[in-house]
Amino acid sequence: MSKPEGVAEAITTARAPAAVGPYSQAVAVGDWLFLSGQIPLDPATGEMVPGDIGDLTRRVLDNVRAVLEAGGTSLDRVVKTTIYLADMADFQAMNAVYATYFQEPLPARSTIQAAALPRQARVEIDVIARR
């Protein structure tokens, strides 16, 4: 059950990597869910998964999906994504995988090249969704 409008509720799940600092995996406020950025960590080990940018993007989006589900929503309710890439040369390969996770209407999106990401990740994604 949702808390009253305007009261924040922390969302956590063991199906996604635990927060490694003073933040929540996600915060729900009313019908909205705000996810912290996910990087390609295996939730079972807390270690970065191996592979190319496609493999990394899949792990990130699987982590995102797990947090969304813990918050009572799903990928089809995402309205905004922000993608951070360590190298914009990875854009096409990341985008090909990203496209398999979302359906029409596609969420609004920003993609940014970041000088550095946590734990030397090559990709990080955060989202906003309706519950």
Q: Tell me, yes or no, whether 106 lies in a domain.
A: yes
The answer on pLDDT for 27 being more than 60 is yes
The answer on pLDDT for 24 being more than 80 is yes
Residue 38 corresponds to which tokens in the numbers above?
Answer: 């996910």
In this structure, what are the phi and psi dihedrals at residue 46, rounded to the nearest 5 degrees? 75, 10
Q: How high is the pLDDT of residue 4?
A: 63
Q: Tell me, yes or no, whether 52 lies in a domain.
A: yes
Q: Tell me, yes or no, whether 123 lies in a domain.
A: yes
Question: Mean pLDDT over residues 6-14, rounded?
Answer: 93
Q: How confident is the model at residue 123 (pLDDT cuts 50, 70, 90)?
A: very high
Residue 20 corresponds to which tokens in the numbers above?
Answer: 């490694």
Q: How many domains does the chain have?
A: 1
Output the furthest CA–CA distance in the chain (Å, rounded).
Answer: 44
Which residues constitute the domain of residue 83? 8-130
Residue 58 corresponds to which tokens in the numbers above?
Answer: 């899949």
Which pLDDT tens digit goes with each residue over 50-109?
999 999 999 999 999 999 999 999 999 999 999 999 999 999 999 999 999 999 999 999
Q: Tell me, yes or no, whether 2 lies in a domain.
A: no
Q: Tell me, yes or no, whether 53 lies in a domain.
A: yes
The answer on pLDDT for 1 being more than 60 is no
pTM: 0.94
> Domain with 46 in it: what CATH number?
3.30.1330.40
Q: Tell me, yes or no, whether 3 lies in a domain.
A: no
